[in-house]
């Protein structure tokens, strides 16, 4: 009587009246055109006298050679071995097909909200001051500080459900908490709708199933180790589809070309310490600069102390996480129309305005999308398509959240250098002086000489500081040219955004005409 045992996924056993077959290492479900296994075969009465071989059971020539060598080694008739192998191959085929069906069913399963969970999520989405409550709940889930960045990142992750998702890249020095922030916000997204990647090869993205990544959040912990996949990532972000042609063996061993296509859209988030290297990817993303201030350091350290002292209610954090995940599950794809779009314009100081303008409009749509349970559904008279409309409040919210982003987009300096310059201004203002030396700043800020020289060189090139010779000490000192330039830039952006709001508010007939 034949016995096929798959209880151990790494060691299958198949027993006949005469022989024991051991399939070591299990069976892969990738590539149904082959069945490569590692076999160990012995007579039942002598398990130590065994023949081992790695073989493709779909290769007839290899199987025939294997049968002859095994028959000679174990002194068993070839007909009995052939018959046993045929039964074994059939069992392995059935097992592999069952595995594939199991995987497909698992992927198709969706988390079903209970009535209580659905009611709680619905009540939350219908509540007043939704964004403020969302931001507060994010804080309750264990995200410390980063008030603006955490809400921005949560809304960007929410956009994965839309046809034009947004992306983000988090910048910060080593140990600043950029990966921690991304992973904590990602925990507020349902597990079945996110994919976290740590190790990637050049062809990784091409071997997902066609719709496996559709409307998913892709998280990359360290962009510095993902150079090979930056191009397919950009294609997924921009074209919402990637395709690669590969050659596979067909019937008779002939080569056959096959196109591997993976569809988006996807929302991509990554972290890096190197702001200038990923320009092509950064142009497609919101740039989030981690708060590295002393105040933020103190908030984090206080949380760590409270956690160590058992003063943090972990159950409350988990409840906040679960509610936000259920809120995400309740949101459904729906078209958003912004009737105020023609009245919107970016501040002139913004660099690369075309792509920034697209991101600005998409972010407004995300806020409308997030408020979908508070918006009346409308239908296109020609197509019958359902949609919701953006309100002035949505635009005001977007402007408030995006001011820091637009400010960074309008700045000649990268984030690290700007942070250094603003810290330097504060130091000199408290000191009541305008001059400083490299030695003084290195000692005061505890900063590496190479890093300081890099900052100083860029500031000199861009005209933010000037070098002056100190006659008394015969050394160089530096002076900030305009201590108010950043504040003036911020004011100009605020004025431009406020002007648009005032112009739209003056268009009183607008809402009636568009509705």
Q: Which DSSP string corresponds to 395-432? A: HHHHHHHHHHHHHHHT-SS-HHHHHHHHHHHHHHHHHT
Determine how β-strand 36-43 pairs with β-strand 46-56. antiparallel
| Region 216-238 average pLDDT | 80
Q: Is the predicted pLDDT of residue 441 greater than 60, yes or no?
A: yes
Phi, psi dihedrals of residue 446, rounded to the nearest 5°: 50, 60
The number of helix segments (H) and strand segments (E) in the chain equals 17, 18
The region of weakest confidence among 164-173, 250-259, 438-447 is 250-259
22 three-state secondary structure: strand
Give the pLDDT confidence score for residue 293 in this predicted structure.
Answer: 83
Residue 98 pLDDT? 82
Mean pLDDT of 318-333: 95
> What's the rounded Cα separation, in Å, for the pair 333 and 398?
20
Higher pLDDT, 253 or 457: 457
**Triad 272, 217, 142: Cα angle to 5°:** 70
Neighbours of 33 (CB within 10 A): 11
Higher pLDDT, 226 or 399: 399
pLDDT higher than threshold 90 for residue 324: yes
The pTM of this model reads: 0.75
DSSP 189: S
> Strand pairing of 378-379 and 435-436?
unpaired
**What DSSP designation does 92 have?**
H
């Amino acid at each position: 009587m034949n016995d096929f045992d798959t209880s151990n996924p790494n060691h299958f056993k198949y027993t006949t009246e005469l022989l024991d077959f051991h399939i070591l290492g299990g069976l892969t479900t990738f590539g149904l055109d082959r069945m490569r296994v590692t076999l160990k075969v012995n007579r039942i009465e002598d398990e130590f006298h065994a023949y081992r071989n790695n073989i493709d059971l779909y290769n007839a020539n290899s199987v025939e050679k294997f049968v002859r060598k095994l028959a000679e080694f174990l002194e068993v008739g070839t007909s009995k071995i052939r018959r046993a192998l045929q039964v074994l191959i059939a069992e392995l085929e059935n097992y592999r097909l069952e595995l594939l069906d199991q995987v497909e069913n698992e992927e198709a399963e969706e988390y079903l909200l209970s009535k209580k969970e659905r009611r709680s999520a619905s009540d939350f989405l219908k509540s007043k001051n939704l964004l403020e409550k969302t931001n507060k709940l994010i804080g309750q889930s264990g995200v410390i500080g980063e008030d603006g960045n955490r809400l921005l990142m949560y809304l960007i992750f929410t956009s994965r459900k839309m046809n034009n998702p947004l992306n983000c890249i988090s910048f910060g020095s080593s140990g600043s908490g950029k990966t921690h922030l991304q992973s904590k916000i990602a925990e507020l997204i349902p597990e079945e709708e996110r994919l976290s990647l740590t190790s990637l090869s050049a062809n990784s993205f091409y071997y997902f199933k066609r719709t496996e990544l559709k409307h998913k959040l892709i998280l990359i912990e360290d962009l510095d180790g993902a150079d090979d996949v930056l191009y397919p990532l950009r294609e997924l972000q921009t074209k919402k589809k990637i395709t690669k042609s590969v050659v596979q063996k067909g019937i008779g061993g002939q080569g056959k070309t096959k196109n591997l296509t993976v569809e988006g859209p996807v929302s991509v988030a990554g972290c890096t310490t190197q702001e200038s290297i990923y320009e092509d990817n950064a142009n497609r993303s919101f740039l989030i600069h981690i708060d590295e201030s002393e105040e933020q350091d103190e908030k984090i350290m206080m949380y760590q102390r409270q956690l160590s002292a058992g003063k943090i209610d972990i159950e409350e954090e988990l409840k906040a996480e679960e509610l936000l995940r259920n809120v995400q599950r309740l949101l459904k794809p729906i078209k958003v129309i912004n009737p105020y779009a023609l009245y919107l314009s970016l501040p002139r100081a913004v660099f690369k305005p075309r792509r920034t303008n697209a991101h600005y409009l998409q972010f407004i749509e995300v806020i409308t999308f997030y408020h979908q349970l508070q918006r009346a559904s409308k239908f296109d008279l020609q197509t019958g398509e359902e949609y919701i409309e953006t309100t002035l409040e949505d635009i005001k919210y977007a402007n408030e959240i995006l001011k820091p982003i637009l400010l960074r987009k309008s700045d000649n300096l990268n984030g690290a250098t700007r942070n250094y310059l603003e810290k330097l201004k504060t130091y000199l203002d408290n000191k009541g002086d305008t001059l400083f030396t490299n030695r003084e700043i290195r000692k005061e800020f505890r900063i590496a000489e190479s890093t300081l020289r890099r900052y100083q060189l860029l500031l000199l090139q861009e005209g933010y500081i000037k070098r002056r010779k100190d006659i008394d000490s015969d050394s160089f000192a530096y002076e900030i040219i305009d201590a108010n330039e950043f504040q003036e830039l911020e004011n100009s952006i605020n004025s431009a955004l406020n002007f648009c709001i005032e112009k739209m508010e003056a268009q009183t007939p607008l809402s009636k005409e568009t509705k």
